[in-house]
Amino acid sequence: MIQAHSSRADLGAGGFVLGLGVLALWQAAVVPASPLYGQVGPSFVPYLVAVLMLCLGIGLCISALRGGWSHTLEEMQDPQPTNWKALGLLFAGLLANLALIDWLGFVIAATVQYVLVAAAFGSRKLLRDLLVGAVVCLAAFMMFDRLLGVNIGAGILEGVL
């Protein structure tokens, strides 16, 4: 029973690889023909990689149908149940960052993300995380924006920082 289940998961992985192969094949087909003369056109290697990907996807699917490989992995011997709370909070953090960063700037968006990610991994001290997060994000901002010379949008803190 367990074996059958894990092979279904492996079949999903194989199917995903097949899907990537199909995507690559489609993208190789839409490469415009080069007007320049060349021994090997720009679409040759994309086709090659697409075919390789498709072959590997087929290989993985065959392997999955024969029982899969997940049950041989040490980490999957006695796996913990999926921690939906942790995953949920983590994704909430990533999405919050995505939504806020252009508008409020890196420091604020990343601080919100910091608090949510820390909560995902079980931290319960909201206020402390907020403070530590703000300090870490400000330090990261200073390091990249000032020291490394990378332009990072400061958002509404522009002018203050």
Partner 1 sequence: MDSFNNLVGGFAHALSFANLGWAILGCFLGTAVGVLPGIGPALTIALLLPITFQVSATGAFILFCGIFYGAMYGGSTTSILLNTPGESGSIITALEGAKMARSGRAGPALATSAIGSFIAGTIGTLGITFIGPFIVEYALMLGPAEYFCLMVLCFVTVSAVLGGSALRGLTSLAFGLMLGLVGIDLQSGQPRLTFGVPEVLDGVNVVLVAVGLFAVGETLFLAWRHVEGKQEIQPVGSIMLSKADWKRSFWPWIRGAGLGFPFGVMPAGGTEMPTMLSYYAERKLVKPEFAQEFGTTGAIEGVAGPEAANNAAAAGVLVPMLTLGLPTSATAAIMLSAFQSYGIQPGPMLFVQQADLVWTLIASLFIANVMLVVLNLPLVGLWVQILKVPTPQLYAGILVFATIGTYGISNSVVDLVLLYGIGIIAMFMRRFDFPTAPVVIGMILGPMAEQNMRQALVISQGDWTTFLTRPISATLLAIALLALVGPKLWGWVGRRREAVRPAA
131 forms part of the interface with partner 1 (CB under 8 A): no
Number of amino acids touching partner 1 (CB under 8 A): 75
* CA distances from residue 2 to 5, 10, 16, 26, 156 in whole angstroms, order as listed: 5, 12, 22, 36, 53
Among 102, 126, 146, 156, binds partner 1 (CB under 8 A): 102
Rounded Cα distance, 104 and 82, in Å: 33
Q: Rounded to the nearest whole angstrom, what is the least distance from the CB of residue 39 to partner 1 in the complex?
A: 4
Contacts of 103 by beta carbon, 8 Å cutoff, 6+ apart: 155, 156
**Closer CB to partner 1, residue 89 or residue 159?**
89
Q: Rounded to the nearest whole angstrom, what is the least distance from the CB of residue 1 to partner 1 in the complex?
A: 20
> Tokens 């060349």 correspond to what residue?
38
Among 7, 104, 108, 152, binds partner 1 (CB under 8 A): 152
Among 22, 29, 65, 87, binds partner 1 (CB under 8 A): 87
* CA distances from residue 60 to 7, 19, 31, 67 in whole angstroms, order as listed: 11, 12, 28, 11
**Using only C-alpha atoms, what is the Rg of the chain?**
23
**Closer CB to partner 1, residue 76 or residue 156?**
76
Amino acid identity of residue 56, one-letter, is L
Among 3, 8, 16, 29, binds partner 1 (CB under 8 A): 16
115 forms part of the interface with partner 1 (CB under 8 A): yes
Tokens at 139, concatenated = 């330090």
66 forms part of the interface with partner 1 (CB under 8 A): no
73 forms part of the interface with partner 1 (CB under 8 A): yes
